[in-house]
Amino acid sequence: MKGIILGVNAEQGLGGQLSKRFASEGLEMFIGGRTKTALDIIVKQIKENGGNARAVKVDATQEKDVQALFETAGEGVDLAICNVGNNTPGRIEEMSVQYFEESWKTCCLSGFLFGREAIKKFLPKKAGTLIFTGASASLRGKAGFGAFNSAKGALRQLAQAMAKEYGPEGIHVGHIIVDGIINGKIVRDKRPDIIEKIGEESLINIKSIVDGYVFMYKQKKHGWTFELDVRNSTETW
């Protein structure tokens, strides 16, 4: 069996950890992202641990790139994870059309492009699991994050529509909400002030998030889950 993950960057990030975990579960992984050097590091680690993986440089907002990722994987794809997203803060009155549009392309259009190609792989065999990564913004609007909120909310509606449309044809579509701050490379490298403010105990353990994806992937069709909302016990909601 093969798995495809789009939105892979650092080894310590969610995409990297998902790639390694599913490789350890026996899937041949095809991992896509913008930075080939980062992908190659993950592939090397997977192979050193007895797994099999291939890196593909992909711009998730470009149709031909996403199609090429699935063409590279070929037949036998059983799992597809769209882990693309980029937090885009900003006040509405100061926001350009281009900025808003880019947020939508990154968080929502990428999901459509990826989801469509995954469905094409799954339909002939009437089986497969497609999972989208969501965020707190998928559920709740927040001041200063109008572009991100609207894009992630739209992705959630797309995922739900696909779950209802293709569930009867044997395809499991799910949406996993990461409802808080991940204890990973991004926050540690770029926002150490957040860790200092809320405390490390308030961050979400990345391996616990990965467990949610594995749980959803292994579900049988008589008891599918559409959505998981993963949060730290200290998260206020």
**Confidence at residue 142, expressed as pLDDT on a 0 to 100 scale:** 82
**Confidence at residue 86, expressed as pLDDT on a 0 to 100 scale:** 81
Q: How far apart are CA 197 and CA 46, in angstroms?
A: 35
φ, ψ of residue 77 to 5 degrees: the values are -75, 125
**Confidence at residue 202, expressed as pLDDT on a 0 to 100 scale:** 65
**Confidence at residue 204, expressed as pLDDT on a 0 to 100 scale:** 79
**Confidence at residue 222, expressed as pLDDT on a 0 to 100 scale:** 93
pTM (global) more than 0.85? yes
Measured CA distances, 82 to 33, 107, 173, 199 (Å): 11, 10, 11, 29
Measured CA distances, 44 to 29, 92, 108 (Å): 12, 43, 30
**Confidence at residue 53, expressed as pLDDT on a 0 to 100 scale:** 98
List, in order of start, the domains of the chain with CATH numbers.
Answer: 2-230 (3.40.50.720)
CB atoms within 10 A of CB 211: 14
Per-residue pLDDT of the chain (237 residues; tens, 9 = 90+): 999 999 998 778 899 999 999 999 999 999 999 999 999 999 999 999 999 999 999 999 999 999 999 999 999 999 999 999 888 888 989 989 999 899 999 999 999 999 999 999 999 999 999 999 998 878 887 887 888 889 999 999 999 999 999 999 999 999 999 877 776 666 666 666 666 666 666 677 888 999 999 999 999 999 999 999 988 877 776
- Say if residues 147 and 103 touch (Cβ distance below 8 Å): yes
Helix (H) or strand (E) holding 22: helix 14-24
**Confidence at residue 234, expressed as pLDDT on a 0 to 100 scale:** 77
